[in-house]
Amino acid sequence: MALARFGRQVKRQHGVCVKMTAVAILGLCFIFVWSMFSSPSNSVTVQRESFDDIAEPVASSTMVSKSKGKDIEKHDANDNKKKVESSLKEKDEKKVNGSLPLPAHEHKSGKKNEKHVSKRKKDKVKSKLSNKVSKENRENQEQEESQGEETEKENEYEEEVVVDDKEEGLDGESEEKGEMEGDADVDESVDQETQEMAENENEGKKRKIKGPVFDPKAHYSWKQCSTRSKHNYIPCIDVESGFTRLHGYRHRERTCPKAPPMCLVPLPHDGYDSPVHWPESKLKVLYKNVGHPKLAAYMKNHNWLIKSGEYLMFPQNQSEFKGGVVHYLESIEEMVPDIEWGKNIRVVLDVGCSDSSFVASLLDKDVLTLSLGLKDDLVDLAQVSLERGFATFVSPFARRRLPFPSGVFDAIHCGRCTILWHAHEGKLLLEINRILRPGGYFILSTKHDSIEEENAMNTLTSSIFWNILAHKTDDVSEVGVKIYQKPESNDIYVLRRRRNPPLCKENENPDASWYVPMKTCLHTVPSAIEQHGTEWPEEWPKRLETYPDWLNNKEKAIDDTKHWKDIVDKSYLTGLGINWSTIRNVMDMKAIYGGFAAALLQQKIWVMNVVPVHAPDTLPFIFERGLIGIYHDWCEPFGTYPRSYDLLHADHFFSRLKNRCKHPVSIVVEMDRILRPGGWVVVRDKVEILDPLEAILRSLRWEIRMTYSQNKEGIICAQKTIWRP
Is 194 in contact with 161 (CB distance < 8 Å)? Answer: yes
**Helices 186-194 and 119-128, packing angle to 10 deg:** 80
- Output helix, strand, coil percentages for the chain, rounded to the nearest 5: 35, 20, 50
Kindly give the pairing relationship between strand 713-719 and strand 675-686: antiparallel
What per-residue confidence (pLDDT) applies to 579?
A: 96
pLDDT greater than 90 at residue 704: yes
How many residues are listed for the chain in this entry?
725
What per-residue confidence (pLDDT) applies to 355?
A: 76
User: Picking from 80-94, 220-234, 510-524, which range would have the lowest pLDDT averaged per residue?
Assistant: 80-94
**pTM metric for this prediction:** 0.73
* 166, 169, 174, 180 alpha-carbon torsion, rounded to 10°: -20
| Dist. CA 715–CA 336, nearest whole Å | 49
Helix, strand or coil, per DSSP, at residue 629: strand
Mean pLDDT of 520-542: 94
pLDDT greater than 90 at residue 122: no
What per-residue confidence (pLDDT) applies to 87?
A: 46
- Three-class secondary structure assignment of 224-241: ECCCCCHHHCCCCCECCC
% of the chain residues with pLDDT over 90:
50
**What's the CA angle centered on 110, arms 109 and 114, to 5 degrees?**
35
- For the segment 282-340, what is each residue's pLDDT rounded down to a tens digit? 999 999 999 877 888 888 888 888 999 999 999 887 777 777 888 889 889 999 999 99
**What's the CA angle centered on 287, arms 281 and 293, to 5 degrees?**
135
- For the segment 352-374, what is each residue's pLDDT rounded down to a tens digit? 877 788 999 999 999 999 999 88
pLDDT greater than 50 at residue 55: no
Q: Cis ω on the peptide bond leading into residue 620 (within 30° of 0)?
A: no
* 139, 140, 144, 147 alpha-carbon torsion, rounded to 10°: 70
Buried b (16+ CB within 10 A) or exposed e, 300-333: eeeebbeeeeeebebeeebbbbebbbeebbebbe
Q: How confident is the model at residue 377 (pLDDT cuts 50, 70, 90)?
A: low
Q: How many Cβ atoms are within 10 Å of 130's Cβ, its own excluded?
A: 11
**Helices 451-463 and 423-435, packing angle to 10 deg:** 50
| Dist. CA 377–CA 386, nearest whole Å | 14
Kindly give the pairing relationship between strand 409-414 and strand 347-351: parallel
Q: What is the CATH number of domain 280-525?
A: 3.40.50.150
What per-residue confidence (pLDDT) applies to 461?
A: 95
The rounded Cα 542 to chain-centroid distance in angstroms is: 33
pLDDT greater than 50 at residue 105: no
Q: How confident is the model at residue 378 (pLDDT cuts 50, 70, 90)?
A: low
What per-residue confidence (pLDDT) applies to 494?
A: 81
Is 204 in contact with 90 (CB distance < 8 Å)? Answer: yes
Report the DSSP beta bridge partners of residue 307: 312
